[in-house]
Amino acid sequence: MDTAKAVGTSPRIVSLPMPFPSRYGVPVLSAVDVAIFGGRYFTQCMQCSFCHDSCCSEGVDVDLLHVRALEAHAEQLEAYTGIARHRWLTQEHSRDPEMPGGGSVRTRVVDGACVFRDRRGRGCLVHAYCLERDLDYHTLKPLVDCLFPLTFSEGILCPADEVEDGTLVCLDTGPTLYRGVREELGYYFGEELLLALDAVEAGSASAPPQVLNPS
């Protein structure tokens, strides 16, 4: 999603009191689309009985910082997943200063789903690998994956495209987008961001928000 699209489809963009860099330095959040406080989704992913991991059907962007982390675990991951490392990622690198490491590579899609989707059960094989080894999953899973169904564009925290276009199967049930991902936001951006977002959340329920001029 680009900023023009975010502003065009949800004009209620509120400036945050200060810039909030992630623990990696980027992205830096300076505004929020208040749509994240209204939309809802089924947050307990592994308890879902109806989506069949449909959100994994197009793969995911892996920031270059986490590409290097995957490479550091390549031998063990190959043994665990049964998937050779050369099959994990596409060869197309995208430059993006908002991504940790300065860019990203997308996971391959195999038979209609991310290469890391567990075909024998459910969920993500990288996540399962981390849990079995008592390894923090943030070490290997990319930033945009952990923040989904939120994302960011030019400093704006906003709903992911699948929310905007209504294709996310589990919409309209469960906690709000923000509340579902609040813990992840705290991990990446810190407690001060959560306090700022909590204040915007409280204000957006009772008053029209200030619109941020994107120019």
pLDDT 10s digit of each residue in the chain, 215 long?
Answer: 333 333 444 468 999 999 999 999 999 999 999 999 999 987 666 444 555 555 678 899 999 999 999 999 999 999 999 999 999 999 999 999 999 999 999 999 999 999 999 988 778 999 999 999 999 999 999 999 999 999 999 999 999 999 999 888 878 888 999 999 999 999 999 999 999 999 999 998 754 444 444 43
Phi, psi at 34, each rounded to 5°: -70, -5
Residue 162, token pair as written in the block? 């699948």
What's residue 5's pLDDT?
A: 37
What's residue 171's pLDDT?
A: 81
H-type alpha helices, the chain: 3-9, 64-72, 74-81, 125-132, 143-147, 161-164, 177-189, 191-204
Domain ranges of the chain: 3-45+150-204, 61-146
Residue 129, token pair as written in the block? 């690998």
What's residue 120's pLDDT?
A: 84
What count of other Cβ atoms lies within 10 Å of the Cβ of residue 38? 16
What's residue 213's pLDDT?
A: 40
Specify the 3-state DSSP secondary structure of 147: helix
Residue 161 contacts by C-beta under 8 Å, 6 or more apart in sequence? Answer: 1, 151
What's residue 174's pLDDT?
A: 87
Residue 141, token pair as written in the block? 């899973």
* Cα–Cα distance list, 79 to 76, 121, 183, 204 (Å): 5, 17, 31, 49
